[in-house]
Structures are given as structure tokens and as C-alpha cells.
Amino acid sequence: MNYDLSEDQVAFQEAARKFAQSAMTPHAARWDAEHQFPTELFVEAGSMGFMSLYTPTEAGGSGLNRLDSTLVIEELAAGCTSTAAFISIHNMALNMLARYGTDKVKSHWCEPLATGHKLASYCLTEPGAGSDAASLTTRAIRDGDDYLVSGSKCFISGAGATDLLITMVRTGEPGPKGISCIAIPADAEGVRFGKQEEKLGWNSQPTCTISFDSVRVPASHLLAEEGLGFKLAMEGLDGGRINIAACSVGAARACMELSLQYVKDRRQFGRAIADFQNTQFKLADMATQLVASRQMIRLAAARLDGDAPDRTSYCAMAKRFATDACFSVCDDAIQLHGGYGYTREYPIERFFRDARVHRILEGTNEVMRLVIARRLLAEQAAQLLD
């Protein structure tokens, strides 16, 4: 098994790193402090192919595989974790549209979404249906050539500033088989946005509730077929989970790099704190957590690219482990910086705040444990443990 990156992968990685260092890192603190959604950045990112990483080339995307995409996401997250996370969500929504949308809808939306001139949100979570996504109640009723959509979604990233809402709705019976997916223009009559949530982190992207009041949407905006929405949502989340795990690695790596420099420069008791064994042990543990997280993500991405039957379990394991481990790395970085790490003079506290939510979204880490355990208890357990 070869763990080395190919020349093309190194090129993707270096391009994303340079972009993050020049276009994201210098502005990340201001975006966070001013709660600024950097829409101009997304156009620049679109010109680099970062807004359509794994969208098929025939739909205007970059056509990368999921492993290559995680390399890009990690680098972007080291520049601004919050903004990289939105880019990940946009990619997930666009990919669903590009793969399952009608030709008419794709011809209208894919190009501006791929270039970053238009933005997409992924709308699954509801006030009464968070981890239990199969119980969602937002309903779409067929009315001639249209659907009438009523209900609400909450904690929607980008809501109020995005242009297209990839929305899970109920068109049939209770449970997952009654769920469909519809692409709803954000400016459609009857779409209402609530107040912006005041959050611990992820301040460079807006988050709010969306209400749908008999919103009329052409039936051509249905993705795939009625009843397949839950399947599409879970398929999207497999990739979303390794993306958000890669965001955590990017944040942790940035904290690790800042900490290495800090402990070399900071002196106590007449010595650099890097000389103390306790500091060295902590750095060793941080590096181990970081490398283990990255390798789990790459393994899961390879399983996803290979359409392996156990891909969902591997994506869940990577997400659960990496988001927990990398948050711990960010926390340790604050400890190494002492009181300075708790101030905004250093970006450590921002990475810490932005990485915390990764253990909740794309399925909480408790739900990831359920996904993994159910696979273990199924007949294919032996295959998972190979």
C-alpha cells in the first residue's frame, strides 16, 4: 500500500495551500469578528475549481475524486476553518444537483454554482428532526406541474445569503421512504429567513431558520425520483462527513504549526518551553492525533471512491475520530500558549471555536457511533474488521 501522494495530488494540495495563505489567512480574523460572509472569495475559489471539487466535469465541475478533494479542503481549513466548511457544504449541495437534477435545472444552475457566482445550501435539519432525519415533516404536495412546499428547516449554513436550497421534503409515507429532494430557489415567493443565529464559532458564514409557506416549485426541480430523498441525503452526508473531518485536520494542523513556533520562542525559567519534557510529550501526542486523523480520512475517502459496501461506516469512523481528536489538538494548542492562547492576539482560539461544531454537524458523533455499531452487528461485520 502506497501512502505517498501522486504528482497531481501534490499539485492540488500546493495550489490550495497558496490560495488559503494569500486569500483566506490574512482576512479570517476580520471575517470572524465582523460576522462577514466573504462572497467575493467564493468567486475567486470558483476560478480555482474549489467550489465544484467533485462535481462531474460535464456539469462544469472539477471532477476530482473524494480523496483528492479532502486534500484541498484540509488546506483551505488551515486558512479559515469556518469558510472552508461552507465551501464543503456548497460542494455537497452542488454535487447532488449535478448528479440527480433534470437537464433543465442543471443547465440553469450548475455553471454559476460551480464558479461561485451563485451559492447553495443543504437543507435537512428541522426543529423536531435533527439526528432523527427520517422523521422530518416539511411537506411537498403535488399541484399540477408544481409542488407546494410548507414547513421549516433550522441551522442551515449560508441561509439568507445563498441562492439555491437543496431541500429534503416529505412527499409520501412516514419514514425514510417518503422523503424526496427538491431544489428550491431562495428567492421563491413564500421562502422566509429567520434571524441569524449567534454562534460560538463559524462566524464567517450565516446560519438561520428557513420557513416555507406554500412555496410553489416546478416539478422539474425534483432531484432523482420521489421517495429517494433520504438516500440522496445520506449519500451526500458520507462525503460531507469526510469533508468536515478534513476541516478539523486543517484547523488542528494550523494550531500545531503555530504551537511549534511558539514553544521555540517562549521562554520560562531561563529556557525555551520546547525544552521541557512535558511540552515535548504534548507535541508528540498532538502530532500522533493529527496524523491518525488524516490517515483515517484518506482511508474512508478511498472506500467512498471505490463504492465499497462498507463506505458509510468508514466515513462515520473517520468523522467521529478526526473531529474529536483534532478538537483535542486545538485545545492542547491553547494550553501550550497559556493565557495568550485564550486571547484573540493569536488565532488558536478561533480555530478552537470553529472546530467545536464539527462534532455535532453532519450527524453528531454519538450518531456516528450508532452507524458504526449497526454495521458491526450486521452480517458483514467480518468485512468491516478486515
Cβ-based neighbour number of residue 273 at 10 Å = 18
Q: What is d(CA 265, CA 253) in angstroms, rounded to the nearest whole number?
A: 19
Query: Is 116:58 a contact under the CB 8 Å cutoff?
Result: no
Show the cell assigned to 364: 453528531
In the beta sheet, which residues pair with residue 149?
140, 215
CA distance 296 to 322: 8
User: CA–CA distance from 187 to each of 50, 193, 214, 231 (Å)?
Assistant: 25, 10, 14, 27
Contact 241, 122 (CB under 8 A): no
- Strand-pair partners of 382: none
Amino acid at 372: I
Sequence-distant (6+) residues with CB within 8 A of 89 are: 121, 122, 157, 158, 240
Number of helical (H) and strand (E) elements in the chain, helices listed first: 12, 10
Question: What is the spatial distance between Cα 66 and Cα 53, in angstroms, rounded to a whole number?
Answer: 8
For the CA atoms of 84, 86, 91, 94, what is the dihedral angle to 10 degrees?
-160
Active site residue 362: yes
How far is the CA of 98 from the CAs of 31, 51, 211, 285, 372, in angstroms? 30, 13, 25, 41, 29
Q: How far is CA 222 from the centre of its chain?
A: 23
| Catalytic residue chosen out of the listed positions 74, 126, 235, 362 | 362
How many angstroms separate the CA atoms of 194 and 160, rounded?
A: 8
Residue 97, CA distances (Å) to 19, 93, 189, 233, 264 in order: 26, 6, 21, 12, 49
Q: Helix, strand or coil for residue 238?
A: helix
Active site residues: 362
